[in-house]
Copies of this chain bind each other. A is one copy, B any other.
Amino acid sequence: MAQPDESPQPHPQPHPQPRPLRRDAERNRQRILEAAAEVFTTRGLEASLDDVARQAGVGVGTVYRRFPDKEALIEALFEERIGAMVQVAEEALAEPDAWTGLVTLLERAATHMAGDRGLRQTTMYATYGQDKVQRARDRMQPVVTAMIDRAQREGVLRDDIQPTDVPFIELMLSAAAEYAAHVRPGIWRRYLALIIDGLRPSRDGITPLPEPALVPEEMMEVMRRVPRDRR
How many of these chains are in the complex? 2
The size bracket of the interface on A is 35 or more
Chain B residues positioned under 8 Å from A198 (CB to CB): 193-198
Q: Which of A81-89, A138-146, A204-212 contacts its partner?
A: A204-212
Q: Judge whether A200 is part of the interface by a CB distance below 8 angstroms.
A: yes
Which one of B182, B199, B228 lies within 8 Å of A46 (CB-CB)?
B228
Q: Judge whether A129 is part of the interface by a CB distance below 8 angstroms.
A: no
Chain B residues positioned under 8 Å from A135 (CB to CB): none
Q: Are A197 and B190 in contact (CB under 8 A)?
A: no
Which one of B171, B191, B212 lies within 8 Å of A176 (CB-CB)?
B171
CA distance A91 to B228 in the complex (A): 35
CA distance A133 to B92 in the complex (A): 44
A180-B222, A218-B184 known; A193-B207 Cβ under 8 A = yes
A-B contact pairs, 13 of them (CB 8 A): A168-B191, A172-B191, A180-B218, A180-B222, A182-B225, A183-B222, A187-B211, A187-B214, A190-B212, A193-B207, A194-B209, A198-B198, A229-B229
